[in-house]
Structure 1
Amino acid sequence: MSDQPNLQSRTERDSMGEREIPADAYYGIQTLRAMENFPISGIKPLPTYVDACVLIKKATAIANAELGCIPQDIGDAIVRAADEILEGSLRDQFVVDVYQAGAGTSHHMNVNEVLANRALELLGDKKGNYQRVSPNDAVNYGQSTNDVIPTAIRIGSLLALQRHLYPAMADAIAICDRKASEFHDVVKSGRTHMQDAVPVRLGESFRAWAQILTEHVIRVEAAAKELTILGIGGSATGTGLNTHPQYRDRVVNVLSGLIRIPLRPALHLMAAMQSMGPFVNMSGALRNLAQDCVKISHDLRLMDSGPNTGLKEIQLPPVQPGSSIMPGKYNPVMAEMTSMVCFQVMGYDSAIALAAQAGQLELNVMMPLIAYNLIHSIEILGNTIQALSDRCLPDITAKRDRCEAYAESSLALVTALNPHIGYLDAAAVAKESLETGKSLRQIVLDRGLMNEEELSRVLDLQKMSARPGTI
């Protein structure tokens, strides 16, 4: 038997024994055990979630080194390792399935091990020499999965909002406002109960969507404020065991500077660690936004339906062929995709609600599910709205003749006649029009209910469809 060292692996030891770790791996023995235990989905942690965890580790290393809790050179090496990861290095080393050990201990240790091993290299040492830089005693000093993971969900969600959702919402609102101005003079038939209703402006439909999205931004921002209150420093159960008295405030201040978002410590650390309420609240705001995005996407599809047998009041930009068998067909794919993503967000919201109520005593062990579902919801919803803004909304055109024809032929125009000829006569006019196909105008004139000048003034589509105060 050879006495030569195995160059393909290194030996690591934990409380359960020894295991061989690939020599080039930056993760360690606890990560290896998690990989073996949880071959569930193949879904790895979201990059934004990794960013959040690494930012927390950077902030804690800075604070603990400043407070003398870990040696300065060790703290500096952890910070350098964290910066490399934040710049894109070692991303393939975060390997634990999102469906994993309760509370997120497996992912947490994955992060601790990668940072420890890279810090060791930066110090000129070998990976696995945890006597010098320990994943638990140095990288994780004064921390627990139980306060790090809920903090990471908060930071990850805030980062996702800044990177994905807020910019997309701003673009969509701006485009809807522009289309509102472009289509200001386009009158179309309104519809309620999927039946004819009094006329509306196409531009006002877009302006309404802009207002709806604006109000959703306000709701999401309100929910996000709760995410800026951090329970970091609570350690295992919220008592702050094994932390420096100044650690909590120091970490929050450093972390606030790193992400450029004002943060503050929770008034009661145990409460911040136990309750998933802020995540349920944010998820609810996302679900609310998603349901209105479904409504908008369905309206776009209805108004674009056709081209010959549907409404076809607008033309959505064709972005790809729509059929493998029907030549010349295109489909409203951007709107269809929007609905699918929104349905997924709604499903994630249900899972988050179930997971949030499943905590016991001092810990909610379902946090990995909440972390993935919440951050992923923010990202895919933001990416979807951005794609809709980039690939669909700006290039929508109005089928003006079609819109005007529907508006002119709507039986609901009779509503404007009520004050002038009375409800019963107006109903009789509508009935005759439906039975004979004659226009409302012709029937009113034939019956001598109004003269042509009065009728033209009352049935002025531009005035009828104007928003109050605009004419």
Structure 2
Amino acid sequence: MTSANDASHPELLDLPIGISASGSREEFDSMGSVEVPADRYWGAQTQRSLLHFDIGGDRMPKEVYHAYGYVKKACALVNAKADRLPGWKRDAIVRACDETIKGQLDDHYPLFVWQTGSGTQSNMNINEVVSNRAIQLLGGALGSQKPIGPNDDVNMGQSSNDTFPTAMHIASVISIDSVLLPAVERLVEMIEKKANGWLDVVKIGRTHLEDAVPLTVGQEWYGWAGQLRAAIEDIKLARAGLYDLAVGGTAIGTGLNAPKGFSGEVAAKLAELTGKPFVTAPNKFAAQGSLDAMVRAHASLRGLAVALIKIANDMRWLASGPRCGLAELVLPSNEPGSSIMPGKVNPTQCEAIVMIAIRVMGNDTAVAFAGSQGNFELNAMRPVIIDSFLHSARILADGCHKFRRFSVEETQLNTEKIKAYVEGSVMLVTALSPVIGYQNAAHIAEKAIADGTTLREAAIASGRVSQELFDQTIRPSDMVGEGLAGA
């Protein structure tokens, strides 16, 4: 990658990652000198942040830094192409960025979520690490900021205010595509597989937790699959808003200190590097003054959480028992369910997915409120939003994987119980309503419930229905419609 007109530059060395040093070394920023651990690549601003924001154990997700590696690499490539950055500097920066993207420098990105709301400390963390690693690769002295400066070279044409939201979008899109959607797709495919095998198993439906008319087990399960399919589409739709990137807007959206065309070129380079359809945000003031795209994207995760709660709760209701509940489903016995009641087994995967969904809803409240806190040309609540988003995506993905593998996949039917409920249901009387009228059908149902008789006995005793008419009309398998749509 070195160009011919760079004859006097330091040579890029093939040095392994790591610093063989102990104690501390002196780093500096505009406020003065700071002692940092000698075996770390970070500099003065990172060290100041570690001191001032050592709050809890919440570290900035490493996915943010991996995404930031793409941002710094793209900017270096674009700057070098325009002869703003010498090729030899570009090569060293790109090498350090590639190591960041691969996670090889993760130990050098230690900052906490709770920091400046613009993400400046995390931006400077990567600037300093990339700078010092590049200096090392060029045979320079760590901490000297020569020949690669964290601000002048690594951060050339950039601001925390445009690069941090850009890294947020990249990290979120990668998380959606690589982690979340594959897990949800596999879950819905397994639900559909189970549903397809049970399309002809007639069962009693329930509304208001009360007996209703029949459907098939497969139809019920396809209802769950439909919820997840719709949630997937919503996530994909919301993801499209994350393709717009703020990079190039610099401090407040005007693009000060970034050359003309920089934003479009960097966005195009990021699309090339990541394989995602990133573009420059057409309105940089909206992209930097708000985080609405992140709010909408997380709202789609909340929608998935809502669907998962419905499915998990339905499954644990239907599996309640084994003797004194509904007991239509038989969930896998994964572990003992009680420390005092021998033989008890609980619907643990269902409970876990509900708790995950509850946390996602809590995260969504945080994201929405943080998104409302933009002031003028900047929303300074960014770290909590990206931490919440990546946390939600990660636990949803892991939860869907475990729920599929250790619950849905091995769930079986209690066909005898299902058949008994159908045979004992009074709501089958609904099929008689068009024949003898709603009121007459209602009186038959009420009589059967009051006397504890079967629907057939009550109907014949009413004198309004013959045995032949009852047997011709009350056929549960004819009440479930034709196929999935129930047409």
For 2:48, the aligned partner's letter is: R
Give the whole-Å Cα distance in 1 for the aligned partners of 2:269 and 2:354: 40
Question: 1:67–1:247: 8 Å Cα contact kept in structure 2?
Answer: no
The alpha carbon displacement at 1:470 in A equals 6.5
Matched-pair contact (CA < 8 Å) for 2:140–2:146: no
Give the distance between the partners of 2:335 and 2:125, measured in 1 at CA. 42
Unaligned stretches of 5+ residues in structure 2 = 1-20
- 2:207 paired with 1:207: no
1:30 to 32, 45, 53: 45
Q: Which residue of 2 aligns with 1:238?
A: 253
- Alpha-carbon shift at residue 240 of structure 1 (Å): 0.9
Superposed structure 1 runs of 4+ greater than 4 Å apart: 467-471
TM-score (norm 2): 0.93
Equivalent AA in structure 1 for residue 116 of structure 2: A
1:357-402 deviations in Å (ceiling 9; x for gaps): 1111111111111111112212221221122122211111111111
Indicate yes or no: 2:384 matched with 1:364. Answer: no
1:288 aligns with 2:306: no
1:226-255 deviation line (CA, Å, top 9, x unaligned): 110111100111111111223212211111
SS in 2 for 1:128: coil
- Confirm or deny: 8 A CA contact 2:60 2:383 kept in the other structure: no
Identity %: 39
Map 1:324-363 → 2, pairs under 5 A: 324-363=339-378
**2:299 and 2:317 mapped to 1: Cα distance?**
27
Instruction: Kindly indicate whether residue 411 of structure 2 is the aligned counterpart of residue 380 of structure 1.
Output: no
Report how far residue 144 of structure 1 moved. 0.5
Cα deviation, residue 7, structure 1: 5.2
Whether the 8 Å CA contact 1:201–1:466 is kept in 2: the answer is: no
Does residue 169 of the first structure (1) align with residue 196 of the second (2)? no
Distance 2:399 2:482 in 1: 31
Q: Deviations over 1:300-355 (max 9, x none)?
A: 11001111111010011122221122221111111111111111111111111111
- Using the TM superposition, name which of 153-162 and 408-417 deviates more: 408-417
Q: Would you say 1:225 and 2:247 are equivalent positions?
A: no
Output the CA distance in 2 between the equivalents of 1:460 and 1:202. Answer: 16
Partner amino acid for 1:378?
Answer: A
Q: How much does 1:460 deviate?
A: 0.8
Matching residue's letter, 2:124:
M
Amino acid at match of 2:273: L
Q: Are 1:71 and 2:101 an aligned pair? A: no
Cα deviation, 1:404-427, whole Å, max 9, x if unaligned, reads 111221221111111122222212
Name structure 1 gaps, 5 residues minimum: 1-5
Matching residue within 153, 157, 177 for 1:138? 153
Contact 1:252 1:264 in 2 (8 A): yes
Q: Residue deviations 1:11-30, cap 9 Å, x none?
A: 11112221111110111111
Q: Is 2:62 the partner of 1:60?
A: no
Please give the secondary structure, in 2, of the residue aligned with 1:188. Answer: strand
Cα distance between partner residues in 1 of 2:22 and 2:173 = 43
* Match in the other structure for 1:260: 275
Counterpart residue type for residue 197 of structure 1: A
Name the counterpart of 2:4.
none
Retained in 2: the 8 A contact 1:355–1:369?
A: yes
Q: Give yes or no for contact 2:67–2:101 (8 Å, CA) kept in 1.
A: no
Tell me which residue corresponds to 2:423. Answer: 408
Distance 1:368 1:470, change over 3 A: closer
Offset at 1:200? 1.6
Whichever residue aligns with residue 338 of structure 1, its letter is I
Work out whether residues 162 and 246 of structure 2, in 8 Å CA contact, stay in contact via their aligned partners in 1: yes
Measured in 2, the distance between the counterparts of 1:338 and 1:152 equals 29
User: What's the secondary structure of 1:31's corresponding residue?
Assistant: helix
Cα separation, 2, equivalents of 1:258 and 1:381: 27
1: distance between equivalents of 2:148 and 2:35? 19
TM-score by length of 1: 0.96
Asked if 1 retains the 8 angstrom alpha-carbon contact of 2:327 and 2:417, the reply is yes
Q: CA shift at 1:115, angstroms?
A: 1.0
Please tell me the residue identity of whatever aligns with 1:216: A
SS at match of 1:392: helix
Q: How does 1:80-119 map to 2 (within 5 A)?
A: 80-119=95-134
* Aligned 8 A contact 2:245 2:279 in 1: yes
- The answer to whether the 8 A contact 2:93-2:130 is kept is yes
Provide Cα deviations, 1:108-131, integer angstroms capped at 9, x if missing partner. Answer: 111111111111111122321203
**Alignment of structure 1 residues 37-48 onto 2, 5 Å:** 37-48=52-63
Aligned to 1:3: none
Of residues 236-245 and 377-386 in structure 1, the stretch that sits farther from structure 2 once superposed is 377-386
Structure 2 CA distance for aligned equivalents of residues 342 and 64 of structure 1? 44
Q: Comparing both chains, which one has the higher relative contact order based on Cα–Cα distances under 8 Å and sequence gaps of 6 or more?
A: 1
Which residue, 156, 166, 184 being the options, matches 1:151? Answer: 166
Q: Deviations over 1:64-100 (max 9, x none)?
A: 1111122211111111111122223121111111111
Q: Which residue matches 2:479? A: 464
- Please tell me whether residue 419 in structure 1 is matched to residue 456 in structure 2: no
Contact 1:143 1:233 in 2 (8 A): yes
Is 2:337 aligned against 1:322? Answer: yes
Distance in 2 (CA, whole Å) between partners of 1:91 and 1:263 is 25
The one-letter code sitting in structure 2 at the alignment partner of 1:172 is L
Q: Distance in 2 between matches of 1:378 and 1:362?
A: 28
CA distance in 2, matches of 1:129, 1:149: 25
CA contact (8 A) 1:179 1:203 kept: yes
> Greater CA deviation, 384-393 or 294-303?
384-393
